Amino acid sequence: MSSKVEQAQRPSAQDALRRAMILTHIHVKAAATPPDEIIAQLSEKWAEEDRAKFVAGMRALNDTQQSRMRTAGLWEHMDASELAFMKTGALEMSMRQRIDASWAIESIACLCWALGYLKQLPPYDQQASKEVIAFPKGERAPSLLERAQLRAPDEIDRQRDWAELWHWRCRTRRLMASAEIPAQLPNGMSMDEVIAMAAGKAAEAGALGTPIGGDFPAFGKAFREMVDGEFGVVMSISQERHKALNWICGHAPGNQWGETRTDT
């Protein structure tokens, strides 16, 4: 696994909170925008006046959100792609933008956990829900930023290692399916044996529940037995959490969110 990074190079608690707030605004904007198919169905029935009202209403919501972000001092901490998304109109939002913003809730969960707002992360076969957006109620951004604190570095490092481990298991499945990793390794061990060993050690460390069939448990079955849809969910969860925890551990050049790598 990746070597640890000294705490002096890590984002601060204030950086982490700003990042969580930015991602929350992005996630909320996508969630508040009707899916393309719904907009298409409505458009068939709309008169030009109805369409104009819809566009104006969505623009007003977005303007309000942008104003709140600027007031909270978040606007200048976004990267170019995030700025572009926040300026994108409801009818111009791409499917890729919508998907990315939707999965951002997994990063929000990790950041809220690291800030101590969330007791624990959901299992890796369970998508985070809106309840993980756990900022203290009734407090404005300046007050929250002033009092923000992170969990101990060792605790965050351990959670990062677990995210990397889950992401590694996702990648081994893909590589084994494409025969890019041979079933039998040069050292005489099989990949199934390597996975079983990793699953056993991870379970002892608390990174996952009791292994099933010598494999990571997911959706009540062995990881290798998941259907494609289930695997896609675990892959997306693992990748997003790995990115967020890599970033908070200082693994991004200059602590730039968009530059965070998720090698395993």
Helix count and strand count (H, E) for the chain: 9, 2
- 141 neighbors 21 (Cβ within 8 angstroms): yes
Tens-digit pLDDT profile for residues 175-206: 999 989 887 888 888 999 999 999 999 999 99
pLDDT digits (tens, 9 = 90+) for 15-54: 999 999 999 999 999 988 877 777 777 777 777 787 788 8
- How far apart are alpha carbons 100 and 95 in whole angstroms? 9
Q: Which residues contact 247 (CB under 8 A, 6 or more apart)?
A: 11, 19, 255, 257, 260
Kindly state the tokens that stand for 169.
């298991």
The pair of structure tokens assigned to 98 is 């919508």
Sequence-separated (6 or more) residues with CB below 8 Å from residue 219: 125, 226, 230
Angle between helices 95-114 and 13-32 in degrees, nearest 10: 140
Write out pLDDT tens, residues 49-75.
Answer: 877 888 788 889 889 999 999 999 999
pLDDT at residue 92, as a whole number: 83
Domain segments of the chain: what residues? 7-147, 153-259
182/17 Cα distance (integer angstroms): 43
What pLDDT, on the 0 to 100 scale, is given for residue 187? Answer: 81
pLDDT band at 8 (very low <50, low <70, confident <90, very high): very low
